[in-house]
Structure 1
Amino acid sequence: MGLPWLDSPLMLHSSGEHICNLTAAQCEYESDHWRDGSQADHVYGYATICFMCAVIGVYSLAHWGSIFTHRWSFYRSRVWLRIRAMNRYLSCKLFYIKLLDWCSPSLGVMILGAVGLIFFFSLSLGPGTYYWPGGPNSLFGDSVPLSFRSAFIALGILPFILALASKINYITLLTGVSHQKLQVFHRWTSWAMFVLALMHAFPLVVSHIRNCDITTQWKTKVQWWTGVATLVPQAWLSIMSIGPIRNTLFGNDSVCVLPLHTLQFSTFFLVSSVGPSISSFGLLNRDYLIAALSVYLSTVLYSMIKTFFLTRLHYATVSVLPGNTISLHIPTARFRWSPAQHVFLRLLHPTLRLHILTSHPFTICSLPSKDSKQSIMTFCIRPSASHSSLTSRLARLASATSVPVLIDGPYGDSGIVSKLNMFEKRIFVAGGSGIGFLLPILQGLRRQDELSIIVVLRDRLSAEWVRDSIEDVLEVGSKDVLVQIYVTGVSMSVSDATSSDPESELEKDGIPSDTDWEYKDKAEEKRGDVRIIERRGRPDLKEIVRGECEDSMRIGVVACGPRSLMGDVKEACAGEQWGILRRGVDKEVWFHGEDFSW
């Protein structure tokens, strides 16, 4: 006895032969290049794959070309300087909407998103013929042209959505763009697929309402049930990816992501296997799902093998620094990393409750030991406002002997220090516990001169340990090192922490101080001025960075902090790139930034 509603065989492939039983004129109309449902996978699915591969190919050529042409004389030509300045301007320029307190993605990212939007909607809506002629008495079958066009464009996007989501990322290997910076494209392509899924579903609903058989279809066709079961988790995942919702619920809804993905893919595979009857199972829709799962599962399998069998279980100790910053120390003999890299930690202490089911990204604030086999990974973590958040629960484990932890990584650019060593002057900007990102970079520099370090903190207690940490790192004295630490608020306890971003090190400007205070000591005078400045509100980072860029021709800028701080630094760098672009001067300003949230 067969399964209810399952009136078609579950098959991977078939002959693909499409037989038209209509008149010659009707068959000619149906077999048009843009209307032929039996060739929809080639016309729309392949076109989508070719577009995505072309975009990745362009960025891959640019990435590898910049590596191999670095030593060529053309690299210093005026034409190349302007091309490079334009590329960096597009990657830094953003727009701030004060009314919404929102910083846009970079101009280059938005242009690429607009190109994708135009392509997808031109391919789905451009050919016209959204419904078959003839209304309820149409002879061309149940599948609607707009429906199958949108379905195969969405299927073509699917493998790239999963590729963009992976931490071990094939696209990163080709383009050099880190996996965290690819997350914006992962979210946008997911939204594109969701909209296309709706464009696939609703024309079918409208068509059968016109045919007056929508109730019969719902009761007798399994595709309607599996379609709804696919759309519901897809809608949930898309809506939860919206920035404010994601930041508020991060860590609470992440436990649901894996079951929702499992439900979505199982029903997706089923609905594709018993799909529409337009081609007698000749379409290759199952191949898209197999390709998507192969791309994703290969990276997940590698990550699991590395985490559970190579890196294995470690034990961390927790302490609280002045200013209530949490310090996490993990001794390890199996792990090597580079400055500015990060890992995903899965903390397994029972008091963390559901957080043991999720992993969280943290930047490594130390370097591996060169002399001994064992190294200590150090993390500086700012507590979150919510008492149920991971960081707040972690702060309560300060007295615990050890916390079991699984380490996944390292991830991130491993060549930041080597790039910075090529520049005459280096500018570092950190907000809050973003200083943890900068400390190992400072320690790894070959030349600890021509440095300008700007740190923005919330409370004075944090400023003290940050100053001590910078002193420990900058062991070689130099008169060309300038350190400025701005304190914008007052001290607070862990329970009063006001950071509102998820499980992150995000800090906001705190209660302003009414006093300005500058500190100098004799030890610091040997390396130049070290200033701790308490002031009202955040300093004008745009002007500070622009001023630091005036007296040098080759400058490297590195920043880590909340998005508002990053926006100011990016704007300053974009202004410098625009100046290079207009004047064609032999000047270079390189920027690397790390946001607290992706």
Structure 2
Amino acid sequence: MVVARDLEVYDGVHCIADMGTDHYMTLKNMSQAATPWADMALYGKYVTYLLVGIVFAGTVKHYVFSNYDVDRVRGGPARIMEKLTAYSRFIVYRRLPSKICHRLGLPSSVGSLLLIGLVTLYSLLWCFVPHPYYRACLGFGSPPLGVRSGMMSTAFVPFVFILSGKTNLIGFLTGISHEKLNKYHQTASILCLFFGWVHTIPFYIQNSKEGGTARLHQKMYATPVYVSGIPPIIFLTLLWVGSLRIVRRFWYEAFVSLHWVLAIGFYISLFYHVYGLLNADKYMVATIVIWCAQLFYRWFAKGYLRPSRFMRTATARARRVGTPNQKCMEVFVEVPIKCDPGQHIFLKTLDKKVAELHPFSVIPSSNGFKLIVRAYDGFTKHLYDSLESPRDLKVLVDGPYGGVARDVRSFSNIYMLCSGSGITSCLPFIMVYANLIGMPAVPLRTIRMDWILRHAEDVCWIEQELDLIRERYGSLLKSGALDIHIYCCSGETEKVNLFGFEYHNYKPVVADIVKSFQLGSTNCIICSGSQSLKEQVGNAAARLQSQVGNVREVYLHTEEFSF
């Protein structure tokens, strides 16, 4: 066979024509002795060691705070561990400008960025610092750069699939809910894709260098396509393109529908590609075992297959509230559900007009729960447009999920800041925990909520709940143990009865609100709302860490719905 090119190396030896000769085999053995092919499996293990180490550290942190044996009622100065925690929170609670991070597709939290940066830098160093990148001839063995990057890419696969679940092993161990882990799922996916391309390109470069396009064409078709690495890299690239913010903005429902189809195609094709190579298939087996286990747990413990609600639909009463410009809806679902404050559910509507799945924060009641929904694009817009008059919907309820990783009752002071429909995350804390204020066995002494609105009419979203709070906890409102502030940014006067609550007809400075907090011994700040609000509260909470010493703790929890 005639080839267009045949690279010459080492005293006249050609990479193609001399393949199989004694001198060629001697050079091959020398190349393998210097850089053994089998040693490339170690690079996948190096990635796994780091990721498992991070999960272990998160598990220890979760265990320590969940089983904190200090009497939380005790006041006095902070202990050493509490001071060290405050020093770290002074950094990790800070937020970078959300507009810049949003455009770059990065989380604004400094803590998340530092963790992502650590994993990225560690992986890049292990991939690109070792040499050589290539062998003299491809016949001497696969390019070391290609093999080690391929093993590193495969090592990320179990974490990509594990982190994708609403209930997942990492979330169970670390106490971090799925919506907060989603940024790490995206990061692991991007690194998996990046190292997948780094794995692919050296093979094309080496074949082209040795024998030109003819050799490249020959090698491409020498292996069945279902065994080659082409299908998995295509599937993973399509997943990445579909996850881009600009794509999700306009075709989110299409992306959600195709997401799992592409993911399953990626998994199957990658399994064929790596089977029997450097034990890489063990990563794939671990992936499917853990992923299926957590999927079945979700179905039977949280989802539609739970014994108490096996594929049982519920009735949801939906109606528009407020003015047409607000595009707000109230949905009441008649399903008794045990839901902790700050948790959310996924609501799947079984309606001819609207059939989608979407997460919502929950306001629980005795015979069901209430949702406050703002119409934006996609599902919520379609639902709002279908509500020309109040009507019933058939729905399936999946959840609850999320919530605060810490026991909120163990804090002496709870401070909540929310904007717009973020009130649905904060209000349940008052309705559930206000009756604990002053109880001898519970350290909780004060609850304060600051709600920032655009228009005074928005108060009507939770008018019934405010009346209930006034009726149940009037004495706490008078004493100041329960303090509720409502801010109207448009400067309008109040439109409903807000007796007992502080109403302000101006746009507040969030930093000033946080500065006004009268910190107790242990403090929990909860934030739900716009990215701008979370950015300001995060930076303010970071500055409050300087108070630790006089107080024992300032803890921040933010609601995340960026997935």
Does the pair score TM above 0.5?
yes
Query: What is the identity, as a one-letter code, of the residue corresponding to 1:487?
Result: C
1:46-82 deviations in Å (ceiling 9; x for gaps) = 2222221111111111211223344279996542221
SS in 2 for 1:548: coil
Q: Which residue of 1 aligns with 2:415?
A: 427
Relative to 1, partners in 2 of residues 1:195 and 1:329: Cα closer, same or farther, differing over 3 Å? same
Q: Which residue of 1 aligns with 2:369?
A: 377
Q: Which residue of 2 aligns with 1:110?
A: 113
Matched, 1:349 2:351: yes
Aligned partners of 2:487 and 2:78: how far apart in 1? Answer: 40
Aligned partners of 2:456 and 2:494: how far apart in 1? Answer: 12
Deviation at 1:555, TM superposition (A): 2.3
Deviation at 1:91, TM superposition (A): 3.4
Q: Which residue of 2 aligns with 1:404?
A: 394
Query: What is the identity, as a one-letter code, of the residue corresponding to 1:241?
Result: S
Q: Which residue of 2 aligns with 1:595?
A: 560
Relative to 1, partners in 2 of residues 1:138 and 1:345: Cα closer, same or farther, differing over 3 Å? closer
SS in 2 for 1:222: coil
| Pairing 1:500-515 to 2, within 5 Å after superposition | 513=490, 515=491
Normalising by structure 1, report the TM-score.
0.79
Relative to 1, partners in 2 of residues 1:425 and 1:72: Cα closer, same or farther, differing over 3 Å? closer
Query: What is the identity, as a one-letter code, of the residue corresponding to 1:124?
Result: C
**Would the aligned equivalents of 1:40 and 1:152 in 2 still touch at CA under 8 Å?**
yes
Of 453, 461, 479, the residue aligned with 1:457 is 453
Matched, 1:331 2:334: yes
1:342-363 deviations in Å (ceiling 9; x for gaps) = 11121111112xxx3x522111
Q: Which residue of 1 aligns with 2:82?
A: 81
Relative to 1, partners in 2 of residues 1:204 and 1:556: Cα closer, same or farther, differing over 3 Å? same
SS in 2 for 1:455: strand
| Pairing 1:206-217 to 2, within 5 Å after superposition | 206-212=205-211, 213-217=215-219
**Would the aligned equivalents of 1:217 and 1:224 in 2 still touch at CA under 8 Å?**
no
SS in 2 for 1:95: coil
Matched, 1:531 2:503: yes
Q: Which residue of 2 aligns with 1:485?
A: 486
Deviation at 1:426, TM superposition (A): 2.2
Aligned partners of 1:59 and 1:415: how far apart in 2? Answer: 12
Q: Structure 1: which 5+ residue stretches go unaligned?
A: 1-19, 274-280, 370-374, 489-512
Deviation at 1:45, TM superposition (A): 1.9
**Higher mean C-alpha deviation, range 173-182 or range 297-306:** 297-306
Q: Which residue of 2 aligns with 1:197?
A: 196
**Higher mean C-alpha deviation, range 98-107 or range 538-547:** 98-107
**Would the aligned equivalents of 2:226 and 2:272 in 1 still touch at CA under 8 Å?**
no
**Would the aligned equivalents of 2:165 and 2:294 in 1 still touch at CA under 8 Å?**
yes
Identity of aligned residues (%): 20
Of 360, 363, 368, the residue aligned with 1:362 is 360
Q: Which residue of 1 aligns with 2:8?
A: none
Aligned partners of 2:346 and 2:496: how far apart in 1? Answer: 39
Q: Which residue of 2 aligns with 1:249?
A: 251
Query: What is the identity, as a one-letter code, of the residue corresponding to 1:423?
Result: F
Aligned partners of 1:70 and 1:244: how far apart in 2? Answer: 48
**Would the aligned equivalents of 1:218 and 1:224 in 2 still touch at CA under 8 Å?**
no
SS in 2 for 1:342: strand
SS in 1 for 2:410: coil
Query: What is the identity, as a one-letter code, of the residue corresponding to 1:183?
Result: N
Matched, 1:573 2:547: no
Query: What is the identity, as a one-letter code, of the residue corresponding to 1:94?
Result: R
Aligned partners of 1:23 and 1:226: how far apart in 2? Answer: 26
**Would the aligned equivalents of 1:132 and 1:145 in 2 still touch at CA under 8 Å?**
yes
Aligned partners of 2:413 and 2:68: how far apart in 1? Answer: 23
Query: What is the identity, as a one-letter code, of the residue corresponding to 1:361?
Result: P
Deviation at 1:145, TM superposition (A): 0.7
RMSD (Å), alpha carbons: 2.9
Query: What is the identity, as a one-letter code, of the residue corresponding to 2:530?
Result: P
**Would the aligned equivalents of 1:519 and 1:532 in 2 still touch at CA under 8 Å?**
no
Q: Which residue of 1 aligns with 2:18?
A: none
| Pairing 1:47-196 to 2, within 5 Å after superposition | 47-71=46-70, 77-96=78-97, 104-133=107-136, 137=137, 139-141=139-141, 143-196=142-195
Matched, 1:466 2:438: no
Of 476, 485, 500, the residue aligned with 2:473 is 476
SS in 2 for 1:439: helix
1:455-498 deviations in Å (ceiling 9; x for gaps) = 1122222124435532323421222133222223xxxxxxxxxx
Q: Which residue of 2 aligns with 1:287?
A: 282
